[in-house]
Amino acid sequence: MHRLSLFAALLLSAASVVADPLPSWNNGDAKQAITRFVTDVTNAGGEDFVPAAERIAVFDNDGTLWVEQPLYTQLAFVLDRVQALAPAHPEWKEQQPFKAALEGDLATLGAAGREGLMQLLMATHAGMTSEEFSDIVTDWLSQARHPRFERPYTELVYQPMLELLAYLRANGFKTYIVSGGGVDFMRPWTERVYGIPPEQVVGSVIALKYEEREGAPALIREAEVAFVDDKAGKPVGIWRHIGRRPILAFGNSDGDLQMLEWTTAGAGRRLGLILHHDDAEREYAYDRKSHFGKLDKALDAAASEGWTVVSVQSDWNRVFPPTELPR
Amino acid sequence: MHRLSLFAALLLSAASVVADPLPSWNNGDAKQAITRFVTDVTNAGGEDFVPAAERIAVFDNDGTLWVEQPLYTQLAFVLDRVQALAPAHPEWKEQQPFKAALEGDLATLGAAGREGLMQLLMATHAGMTSEEFSDIVTDWLSQARHPRFERPYTELVYQPMLELLAYLRANGFKTYIVSGGGVDFMRPWTERVYGIPPEQVVGSVIALKYEEREGAPALIREAEVAFVDDKAGKPVGIWRHIGRRPILAFGNSDGDLQMLEWTTAGAGRRLGLILHHDDAEREYAYDRKSHFGKLDKALDAAASEGWTVVSVQSDWNRVFPPTELPR
């Protein structure tokens, strides 16, 4: 080998080590599908090139960017808020589903179904201004801890996904969250934690009423759901909010099926990804029969539609950010 | 004067001429209010400093960024679409409000009121996919001409506002449209014309249904209005879409009153602006009694709230972009 080429080879190898933008991803099919896709759509003059303005990537939140077991974080928030508000509502001690919520009786809560859940949601999410609610969420997140990992929920985000978000943005993508969760439950912290600003978070929406409150105009949260951003609602939410069809969609459950379908059915190069939780030791293992984040139809569709299934166990060499990270 | 300071003075004066980011604005109170505001909120360390991420500026569209007389452009589109679709609807010849629309009978149309308008809107805006509607709008705009100025509507945007949008963006602002008009009527062209991408356009929204169409998933526009982004709907639309309170709002009619109120009631430095159409020669003169873009309560509020009223006649030395501009 010539001295010059040896030097070049060393340089290249050093650069590839330094530059790996996805160090928490093992070098397997999933990582290669991602880097190949990004290389191709950013290759000016290549047949798959996509202008930066159209590089829209959408991510589910619960179970895709952060942990959704043993229950959705927003439900943990609801249960804690019912406790916090209980002194002002003595009637809740005898009234379902509040009684079950206060007693942590998840079986009764589950039996109360969607209607019971809506009662709890509205009792804890409505009646204040939009800005007051942001503060309540921020306060709660600063104190709440995950029951198994004993860390703040905002530290139980997936390190490989943080790297993927940053990698996409470094390649001119605009990264969006498209979640069934409440948009106002996510926006107070997504910029700090994911680098995704509030205006790039699409989610379910509560009715808002514009009115005077203490002499100043305010937006009051009303006890009515205005839009559910889940399942077939996800493509609708994307169109309403973004007005473009994404070229990359990443989800983990049947709630993401239509978002993945609609994204990957677009013309030109597209990438659909599904996170498969198969690592009970480092995180959780669940799919077809899970109560939260059920992955059944979308797992079957992945095979027929050519979506990339990402395995927590084999594709990720790290799940969560280091504990010592300042967050 | 030393040779060096003469040279420096010449340089400075040349720079200030070259660098005026708002050449179509006369040097009066309005221009000064704008440049002072931008200077102050971008002055790191100053008491009015606002981090770039929070520099959200919202603009009404009709009558603020482009002409809204003799009628809203979207209504001109509706009337043309009724003509185009009439051969497939022979019954419209006898059926109101379609008969009046076909005959250009604006008096009867006006008398048909909101209900009549909704019938025309739904007959022309629903039944196709979201992407098909974008193409219809784009085709129409390429052919339609304004009755008085005989130019494409997308050339009847205000040159001083194009300069203001660019000036704000150059200072780290994110510029948004917040319009009572249909979001899907604006998004196909706002990026090309204003430099505002589709995802930064907030507007009224039609119901969308996700379903298979010709073997592929699609979003079908349904004959139902899902959200009206006007008056008190504007702050609601802003919160839903952006999730932050803007620091600058620019409108021109009573439809913008609540957006201006809510924006300027926020903590810290804020700027509210109202465009007053008072130049019948170069554009139009209208305010308190106008059918389109009525400016009455908001004009009174401007005085009491300290909003800056911008006069087309005295604050702008040019109204429209030069004809020869390639658009």
CA atoms within 13 A on the CB side of A308: 20
Asked whether the predicted pLDDT for residue A309 surpasses 70, the reply is: yes
pLDDT at A287 over 80: yes
Q: Per the structure block, which two tokens stand in for A49? A: 């090139």
Are the beta carbons of A243 and B199 separated by less than 8 Å? yes
For residue B323, the model assigns a pLDDT of 76
Within 10 angstroms of residue A152's Cβ, the number of other Cβ atoms is 16
Q: What does R_g of chain B's alpha carbons equal in angstroms? A: 22
- Region B52-63: mean pLDDT is 98
Return the closest-CA partner of residue A124 out of A115, A112, A113, A133: A133
Q: What pLDDT digit, counting tens, does each position of B100-154 carry?
A: 999 989 889 989 988 999 999 999 999 999 999 999 999 999 999 999 999 999 9
- Tens-place pLDDT, residues A53-102: 999 999 999 999 999 999 999 999 999 999 999 999 999 999 999 999 99
Q: Is B65 helix (H, G, I), strand (E, B) or coil?
A: coil
Band of residue A323 on the pLDDT scale cut at 50, 70, 90: confident
Residues of chain B numbered 215-244 and touching chain A (CB < 8 Å)? 216-217, 219, 232-233, 235-236, 239-244
Q: What pLDDT shows up at residue A186?
A: 98
pLDDT at A327: 47
pLDDT of the residue at B125? 97
Q: Check CB contact under 8 Å for B219 and A236.
A: yes
- Measured in whole angstroms, the distance separating CA A304 from the mean position of its chain's CA atoms is 24
Taking residues B216-224, report their average pLDDT. 96
pLDDT tens across A237-272, in order? 999 999 999 999 999 999 999 999 999 999 999 999
A194: chain B residues, CB-CB within 8 Å = none
User: Does A191 contact chain B (CB < 8 Å)?
Assistant: yes
Query: Could you say which of B219, B240, B241 has the minimum Cβ distance to residue A239?
Result: B219
Of A184, A199, A219, the CB nearest to B242: A199
Quote ipTM for the complex: 0.92
Q: Within chain A, where are the H helices?
A: 3-19, 29-41, 73-85, 98-103, 106-125, 130-143, 159-170, 183-194, 233-241, 257-264, 297-305, 312-315
> Among residues B26, B53, B22, B40, which one has the least CA distance to residue B243?
B53
Query: What per-residue string of b and e applies to B118-143 under the rule 16 or more CB within 10 Å gives b?
Result: ebbbbbbbbebbbeebbebbeebbee
Spatial CA neighbour of A61 closest among A189, A214, A236, A243: A189
Residues of B in contact with A245 (CB under 8 A): 131
**From B185, which residue of chain A is nearest by alpha-carbon distance?**
A243
* A2 vs B122, more confident: B122
Residue of B nearest to A196 (CA): B53
Q: Do A219 and B174 touch (CB under 8 A)?
A: no
State yes or no: pLDDT of A1 exceeds 50.
no
Percentage of residues of chain A with pLDDT beyond 90 = 88
Q: A99-125: per-residue pLDDT in tens?
A: 999 998 988 998 998 899 999 999 999
CA distance B202 to B184: 10
Distance of alpha carbon A252 from alpha carbon A158, whole angstroms: 13
List CB contacts (< 8 A) between A197 and chain B: 53
Which chain A residues are within 8 Å of B205, Cβ to Cβ? 240
- Extract the runs of DSSP E, i.e. beta strands, from B85-137: none
What's the pLDDT score for residue B142? 97
> Which residues in chain B are closer than 8 Å to A233, comparing Cβ atoms?
210
Tell whether the model's pLDDT for residue A136 goes beyond 90.
Answer: yes
Sort out which chain B residues have CB atoms less than 8 A from A241's CB and list them.
199, 241
Scanning every residue of chain B, which has its alpha carbon at the shortest distance from the alpha carbon of A174?
B199
Gap between the Cα atoms of B175 and B160, Å rounded = 15
Residue A12: pLDDT band with limits 50, 70, 90: low
Query: How many CB pairs below 8 Å do chains A and B form together?
Result: 83
Distances from the Cα of A161 to the Cα of A21, A110, A245, A273, B224, angstroms: 11, 31, 21, 12, 38
Predicted pLDDT at B110? 86
Report pLDDT digits (tens) over A21-51: 999 999 999 999 999 999 999 999 999 999 9
CA distances A214 to A112, A129, B243, B261, Å, are 37, 11, 21, 14
The encoded tokens of residue A238 equal: 């994307």
- Per-residue pLDDT averaged across B1-6, rounded? 55
In this predicted structure, what is the pLDDT of residue A325? 53
Confidence of residue A11 (pLDDT cuts 50, 70, 90): low
- pLDDT tens figures, B230-288: 999 999 999 999 999 999 999 999 999 999 999 999 999 999 999 999 999 999 999 99
Q: Is the pLDDT of residue B2 over 90?
A: no
* Residue B61 CB-density burial (10 A; 0-12 exposed, 13-18 middle, 19+ buried): buried
- The answer, yes or no, to whether residue A296 has pLDDT greater than 70, is yes
- Give buried/exposed letters for B208-230 (b at 16+ CB in 10 A, else e): bebeeeeeebbbbbeeebebebb
Single-letter amino acid, residue A133: F
Q: For all residues of chain A together, what is the average pLDDT? A: 94
Q: How crowded is the C-beta side of A232, counted as CA atoms within 13 Å?
A: 10
CB contact under 8 A, B241 and A241: yes
Q: How many residues does chain B have?
A: 327
Q: Is the pLDDT of residue B289 over 70?
A: yes
CB-based contact A163:A250 (threshold 8 Å): no
CB B208 within 8 A of CB B219: yes
Is residue B97 scored above 70 in pLDDT? yes
The confidence score (pLDDT) of residue B19 equals 81
Does the model's pTM come out above 0.90? yes
Say what angle helices A257-264 and A297-305 make with each other, to 10 degrees.
20
Q: What is the DSSP string of A89-108?
A: -GGGGTSTTHHHHHHT-HHH
A270 in contact with B, Cβ within 8 Å = no
Q: ∠ CA(A89), CA(A92), CA(A95), 5° rounding? A: 145
Residue B38 zone, left/alpha/beta (φ > 0; ψ -120 to 50; rest): alpha
Please determine, for residue A301, whether its predicted confidence score (pLDDT) is greater than 90.
yes
Write the single-letter amino acid at A318.
R
Q: Residues with Cβ < 8 Å from A33, sequence gap 6 or more?
A: A271, A273, A308
Enclosing H/E stretch for B180: strand B174-182
With contact defined as beta carbons under 8 Å apart, do B276 and B57 qualify?
no
- Output the CA angle A204-A207-A211, nearest 5 degrees: 145
- State the pLDDT at residue B4: 54
Look at residue A315 in the predicted model and tell me its pLDDT: 98
Distance CA B47, CA B53 (A): 17
Question: Tell me: the pLDDT tens digits for A170-216?
Answer: 999 999 999 999 999 999 999 999 999 999 999 999 999 999 998 89
Q: A219 and B235 in contact by Cβ < 8 A?
A: yes
Task: Work out the percent of chain B whose per-residue pLDDT is above 90.
Answer: 88
Beta strand A308-311 with A271-276 is parallel
Question: pLDDT at position A187, please?
Answer: 98
- b/e string for A118-148 if b means 16 or more Cβ within 10 A? bbbbbbbbbebbbbebbebbeebbeeeebee
Contact of B268 with chain A, judged by CB distance below 8 Å, is answered with no
Are A241 and B236 inside 8 Å of each other by CB? Answer: no
Could B235 and A217 be called an inter-chain contact, meaning their C-beta atoms sit closer than 8 Å?
A: yes
Band of pLDDT at residue A149, cut at 50, 70 and 90: very high
Secondary structure class of A53 (helix, strand, coil): helix
Q: What was the pLDDT predicted at A15?
A: 54
Residue of B184, B210, B239 lying closest to A236 (CB–CB) = B210
Percent of chain B, pLDDT > 70? 93
